[in-house]
Amino acid sequence: MPRKKYSASVDYEAKLQTVMERLGIEKFNYDWTRRDCFVEMIYHGRVYRFENSFEKASACGRRIQYVSDLFAEVVLSLEAIARATEKDIFTLDMLFEGVPSLPAKITVPVCFAFLGFSEVPRDEGEVRSRYHERAKQLHPDSDSGSRQAFEELNRAYQDCLAYFKY
């Protein structure tokens, strides 16, 4: 039976919080699935992502059996970075100088989000089509609709159409 290499993930979640404070990172996010994990951080308005997976570990000759151990490796690597910056070996600016950050997240105007778009559509036709789909769902005569929701939908639809006029 495979043995766990590191302690429980909650220990590393707490350690991650401490490491981020040491690095001066105010906003960060992390998660893991059955096969991989990541830690994302915002540094000087740019998003950087540190990832680990069973495939990466295996390619480097590391035998990792638990995703929580993958997460522990990422946290311990970030802790090593924090330690090096505290010893003035380098700064985060020096480290990230040539590292590409993730593309900036595009925010979608609320009117488009209300219609269910995750990005601004190409033309009014897409808006019209989505409006008709949502109108069937939110119309007061439907089981899941209401007068208020339908009115909000109509306002959002008008705002979306106005967006294309400017």
* Residue 18 and residue 67 share a domain: yes
**Total domain count, the chain:** 2
pLDDT in tens, 99-113: 777 776 667 888 888
For the range 13-20, what are the long-range contacts, defined as Cβ-Cβ under 8 Å and sequence gap of 24 or more? 15/75, 15/79, 16/75, 16/78, 19/75, 19/78, 19/79, 19/82, 20/78
pLDDT in tens, 116-152: 888 888 889 999 999 999 898 889 888 878 888 899 9
pLDDT at res. 1: 47
Which pTM does this prediction carry? 0.60
Q: What is the CATH number of the domain that holds 126?
A: 1.10.287.110
* Residue 114 and residue 92 share a domain: no
Tell me which residue range forms the domain holding 68: 9-96
